[in-house]
Amino acid sequence: MDISLPLDKMTNSEKIAMMEKIWDDLCRDPESIPSPKWHQDVLAAREKEIKEEKASFTCFDQVKERIRDQIK
């Protein structure tokens, strides 16, 4: 299926709205979209770090502040 959108004529807001509609549609049946193998690999590695007490965590407020500082 070849779908053509007038992207050059759409505003950024319209493009984001279109992406949100597509995302909402995909989320109706998440089981139909398999996760790539590397997702499981990353999760397993993180779980191992936690079990070995090698993982470090940052509270969400600190993460938000760090991101805000980076984009200033």
Task: Using a cut of 0.75, tell me whether the model's pTM lies above it.
Answer: no
Task: Find tokens 């969400």 and name the residue.
Answer: 60
Q: Give me the DSSP letters along the chain.
A: ------GGGS-HHHHHHHHHHHHHHHHTSGGGSPPPHHHHHHHHHHHHHHHTT------HHHHHHHHHHHH-
Over residues 15-71, the pLDDT tens digits come to 999 999 999 999 999 999 999 999 999 999 999 999 999 999 999 999 999 999 999
- Specify the pLDDT at position 18: 96
